């Protein structure tokens, strides 16, 4: 009888261990977020750093994720010198990301659909400048990495500077409402 109880307890512990979620912390120094912002006359590109992040797995399937982006690190990579300093300063200013008042952005997975082969359809809440909106994207998990590409409509977060959707007669000064992100996560 003692042996049966021991086996039953061992099976219960093993089942509980398998069934519980496993949180994998993101290695922020090995992870990358690249951005591209387009305008009528061209584009600018750069990087922004993750402050923290984690993916949650259950039975080796993606079940959740939470990320904090350090908006104070936003930096252009296509310019140098005074032009770079001017653009970086403008992106950090109140008419763009207002990083002094809003130093972080946050992404929290809300719904995840398994599409097979390590690909997941994610709906998440993205908060920028204390404004939260839903975003959807595909993320691919392979080994200890995850990658995704997504487009964000900046105007939904109150970032209207140079937007042809809100201002007339901008001509070649018009900046696209959407910016693109390429994200590579290591955990």
* pLDDT for residue 129 is more than 60: yes
Q: How confident is the model at residue 6 (pLDDT cuts 50, 70, 90)?
A: very low
Provide the b/e sequence for 33-48 (b: ≥16 CB within 10 Å): bebbbbeeeeebbbeb
Q: What is the CATH number of domain 21-186?
A: 2.40.128.110
pLDDT mean across residues, the chain: 92
* pLDDT for residue 160 is more than 90: yes
Going from N- to C-terminal start, the domains of the chain cover 21-186
Provide the b/e sequence for 73-103 (b: ≥16 CB within 10 Å): bbbbeebeeeebeebbeebbeeebbbbeebb
104-116 and 61-76: which strand pairing? antiparallel
The strand pairing partners of 123, in sequence order, are 111, 136
Report the pLDDT value the prediction gives residue 54, as an integer from 0 to 100: 98
Report the pLDDT value the prediction gives residue 20, as an integer from 0 to 100: 85
Report the pLDDT value the prediction gives residue 139, as an integer from 0 to 100: 98
Report the pLDDT value the prediction gives residue 111, as an integer from 0 to 100: 98
Q: pTM of the predicted model, to two decimals?
A: 0.88
**pLDDT tens digit string along 12-66?**
454 444 458 999 999 999 999 999 999 999 999 999 999 999 999 999 999 999 9
Over residues 115-132, mean pLDDT: 98
């Amino acid at each position: 009888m003692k042996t049966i109880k021991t086996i039953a307890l061992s099976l219960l512990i093993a089942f509980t261990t398998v069934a519980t979620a496993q949180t994998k912390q993101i290695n922020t120094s090995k992870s990358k977020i690249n951005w591209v912002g387009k305008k009528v006359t061209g584009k600018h590109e750069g990087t922004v750093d993750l402050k923290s992040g984690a993916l949650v797995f259950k039975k080796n399937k993606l079940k959740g994720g939470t990320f904090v982006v350090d908006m104070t690190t936003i930096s252009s990579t296509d310019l140098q010198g005074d032009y770079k300093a001017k653009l970086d300063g403008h992106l950090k200013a109140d008419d763009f990301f207002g990083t002094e008042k809003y130093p972080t952005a946050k992404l929290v997975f809300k719904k995840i659909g398994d599409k097979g082969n390590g690909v997941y359809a994610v709906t998440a809440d993205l908060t920028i400048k204390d404004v939260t909106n839903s975003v959807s994207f595909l993320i691919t998990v392979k080994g200890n990495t995850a990658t995704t590409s997504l487009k964000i409509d900046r105007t939904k977060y109150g970032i209207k500077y140079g937007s042809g959707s809100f201002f007339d007669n901008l001509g070649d000064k018009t900046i696209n409402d959407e910016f693109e992100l390429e994200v590579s996560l290591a955990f």
